Structure 1
Amino acid sequence: MNRARLADAGLIAVAAVESALNWPVEPLEIAVAVVAVVALAFRRRWPIAAFLVTLPALAFVGGALATVFALYSVALRHSDRYLLTGCGVLAAAGYLVPGGEYEFSRIDFVLTLIYAVMTSAAPIFFGRLVRALDDVRRAHEHERELDAQAVLAKERNQLAREMHDVVSHQVSLIAVQAGALSVSTTDPNAKVAAENVRKLSVDTLDELRHMVNLLRASGSAVTELTPQPTLSDLDRLVTGSGIETTLTGAAPDNVDSAFQRTIYRTIQEALTNVRKHAPGSTAAVEIAHDDTDLTVTVTNTAPTRPTLALPSARHGLVGLQERAALLGGTITATPVAGGGFRLQLRLPLARSN
């Protein structure tokens, strides 16, 4: 800020000296010269107004520097070509006014006109050049920021992959083996301990997956900082799916949070696949249960619009199978007659309490 004020003071002093050297003697000439010099103090805040105020001094006194400095500020602030052209024409016309009382030869008039155009065009081109250089500098800074964000995103994704591939795999093995032990052992204490280990492993794995999602979403516009979904969110999920979907049935009231998240994620993934691979189809979500099992079935009709060949690594289905296996359940995905598809989740209710 101090450098800008010092520059403004220097320009005002130079313009004042030039105006004094033009020897204004009439009160009107002195007034317009003073106003033009003072206007330079406001050229950064109101560049167009400051430029217009300097024109009388250019026309009646011949003080060109104040107009040149103000015109440079206009070009630095504004990029509208019509505005800059109009200001340039006004500056050139103001430069020609003092010589109107003299008689010029044709060649002298042409040379004077060229000089007036060059004098008015130079601050415009210089102002646009400085603005372009500033834009390039900003673009380079933005590019450096993007590069830094890309490096951080790469590191976060690598960390997320390590957590998913190593930690998630080990916790999954613990949960599966604890579930197998709880089924095979005859010792009641060992059964209870194994079941506790399994439930803790399931909860840990679910939280781990949430942390991995947060790592992958960090730095993006939307991060998953919302609470984990429950069955109460199903209506909103179905309504916002963008698919004509019906939801029937309900789960028991006493299912735990791991079961609720698995049911929600299964329906979410199924509707996502319908939207991706069966455009224009309708879907039906059915939740049913008996004394032993809870089933969630998502069925969609054949697509009615052309299907785009979207890439898929089937990670979503694999993740659903892992979730179901940790709870002792299964996932089946099969085509149905008429070109539709069915995804069914089956979970044992004995583990939901």
Structure 2
Amino acid sequence: MNRLRRWWRPWMTDMALVVVSALDVWVVFWWGEPTWDMWLIGAGVLALLLRRRRPMAVFLVTLPTALFMGQAAAPLIALFTLASRTHRRRLLAVATLVLATCMVWPVGVQLSEYPLDSWILADAAYALAPAAAAAFLGQLVQVRRELSARLVEITEAREHEQLMATQKVLSEERAQLAREMHDVVSHQVSLIAVRAGALQVSTADAEAKEAAGTIRTLSVRTLDELRHMVNVLRAGGSGPTDLAPQPTLAQLADLVAGSGIEATLRIGPHPELGPPAERAIYRTVQESLTNVRKHAPGASAKVVLAHEGGGVTVTVHSTAPTRPAVPLPSSRHGLLGLHQRAALLGGTLTWAATPDGGWRNTLTLPV
């Protein structure tokens, strides 16, 4: 079965449906001479090849088949496709009633031919049942397809949340270790260096003076190494690796391209920025795109970096979501953390909803 699915293509399904509809027409009109209505019906059958691209237009083209034949396969297939691709329930209900009317009252049948009793209700029920079934099946396929896409989004979001939680724990552990090394170990090594320096100055013994000098030199080197390790621990909290290189503006294009949403990047002329500013820009864009993917399914985003008013401005503007968002667990501290990062650099971070239903984050850093 899996091998058949890999081999089968959507156009093969469309061709099979065209063949079935053509056989349905041939069974009814095989004995007759070709007329203009038959050509119109044939056009409706061939239009099924475009049912995925233009479902509403194909449905309208196939309606003459029901008008001239009554019960027919082509308009039912077109209605099924329309139902599987539209979210307009009223339009779908009207299309179902129109198709049922065409099938129950074909062209050429006079009202006088219908006995005004329960038979006309039975014919209406027989016509409405397949039309309603096609519409319900199409809606079922649509719900199943959207549910599968939503499950994929939820899985990706949970994996991302788990990765972020893991990185947060690692960052907290590194920060705690850095504090311990700075407050305890560095303090004690500093005392050793001071006492060794005092001993070197106060003693008259040459051997003791040399030993004290050695201790003082090693203590100073140890302090330098400790400072370097503390900086590494504090700066390396954003990645799973202790010595992972910090992100720069050169990696911004890869971040936007791999964000999992439709996003564009425009970088204008700007002065050279320091590593802290580049990291702030990178983290702001990363968090903003993550929020778009989590909270605005189907939305697109535009990232613009420009030099304005003596500072560098980064704007992440997202459009309105095309699908309802799935409630996901969130700490809601991402934007607040970015705001604090911007404040430490003397800049600002603002965020607000846009009139078109989207969202805009703006980071401004002084040059």
Q: Tell me the TM-score range normalised by the shorter chain.
A: 0.5 to 0.7
Q: What CA deviation, in whole Å up to 9, does each residue of 1:134-186 have, x standing for no partner?
A: 22222333333333334433433443344344465346533222322333332
Equivalent residue number for residue 4 of structure 1: 10
Equivalent residue number for residue 126 of structure 1: 137
TM-score, normalised to structure 1, is: 0.57
Taking a change above 3 Å as real, the CA distance of residues 32 and 99 of structure 1, as seen in their structure-2 partners, is closer
Taking a change above 3 Å as real, the CA distance of residues 22 and 62 of structure 1, as seen in their structure-2 partners, is farther
Equivalent residue number for residue 292 of structure 1: none
- More displaced stretch, 39-48 vs 170-179: 170-179
In 1, Cα distance between equivalents of 2:275 and 2:216: 29
Taking a change above 3 Å as real, the CA distance of residues 57 and 4 of structure 1, as seen in their structure-2 partners, is same
Equivalent pair of 2:71/2:127 in contact (CA under 8 Å)? no
Equivalent residue number for residue 64 of structure 2: 56
Equivalent residue number for residue 84 of structure 1: 92
Taking a change above 3 Å as real, the CA distance of residues 25 and 62 of structure 1, as seen in their structure-2 partners, is farther
Equivalent residue number for residue 148 of structure 2: 137
Q: Which residue among 105, 115, 118 is the counterpart of 2:115?
A: 105
Q: Which residue among 174, 187, 205 is the counterpart of 1:176?
A: 187
Q: Which AA in structure 1 matches 2:41?
A: A
Equivalent pair of 2:167/2:237 in contact (CA under 8 Å)? no
Q: Which residue among 79, 98, 102 is the counterpart of 1:94?
A: 102
Q: Which AA in structure 2 matches 1:49?
A: A
Equivalent pair of 1:51/1:74 in contact (CA under 8 Å)? yes
Is 1:28 the equivalent of 2:27?
Answer: no
Equivalent residue number for residue 228 of structure 2: 203
Question: How far has the Cα of 1:268 moved from its partner?
Answer: 4.1
Q: Which AA in structure 2 matches 1:18?
A: D
Question: How far has the Cα of 1:123 moved from its partner?
Answer: 0.9
Is 1:14 the equivalent of 2:20?
Answer: yes
Equivalent pair of 2:92/2:135 in contact (CA under 8 Å)? yes
Secondary structure, counterpart of 2:106 in structure 1: helix
Question: How far has the Cα of 1:22 moved from its partner?
Answer: 1.4
Equivalent pair of 2:68/2:107 in contact (CA under 8 Å)? no
In 2, Cα distance between equivalents of 1:85 and 1:143: 32
Q: What CA deviation, in whole Å up to 9, does each residue of 1:28-52 have, x standing for no partner?
A: 1220121011011110111111111
Equivalent residue number for residue 300 of structure 2: none
Equivalent pair of 1:172/1:201 in contact (CA under 8 Å)? no
Matches within 5 A, 1:178-327: 178-186=189-197, 187=200, 190-214=215-239, 229=276, 268=344
Consecutive unaligned residues of structure 2, counting only runs of 5 or more, are: 1-6, 201-212, 250-273, 281-310, 313-339, 349-367
In 2, Cα distance between equivalents of 1:155 and 1:114: 60
In 2, Cα distance between equivalents of 1:213 and 1:111: 70
Q: Which residue among 109, 117, 120 is the counterpart of 2:128?
A: 117
Taking a change above 3 Å as real, the CA distance of residues 3 and 13 of structure 1, as seen in their structure-2 partners, is same
Equivalent pair of 1:88/1:120 in contact (CA under 8 Å)? yes
Q: What CA deviation, in whole Å up to 9, does each residue of 1:83-122 have, x standing for no partner?
A: 2122212212221331652411122221122222222211
How many residues in Structure 1 have an aligned counterpart in Structure 2? 236
Q: What percentage of residue pairs aligned between the two structures are identical?
A: 23
Query: Which structure has the bigger radius of gyration?
Result: 1
- More displaced stretch, 179-188 vs 69-78: 179-188
Secondary structure, counterpart of 1:185 in structure 2: helix
Question: How far has the Cα of 1:128 moved from its partner?
Answer: 0.4
Equivalent residue number for residue 148 of structure 1: 159
Equivalent pair of 1:39/1:54 in contact (CA under 8 Å)? yes
TM-score, normalised to structure 2, is: 0.55
Q: What CA deviation, in whole Å up to 9, does each residue of 1:257-287 have, x standing for no partner?
A: xxxxxxx98x849x99xxxxxxxxxxxxxxx
Question: How far has the Cα of 1:14 moved from its partner?
Answer: 0.9
Taking a change above 3 Å as real, the CA distance of residues 124 and 50 of structure 1, as seen in their structure-2 partners, is same
Secondary structure, counterpart of 2:9 in structure 1: helix
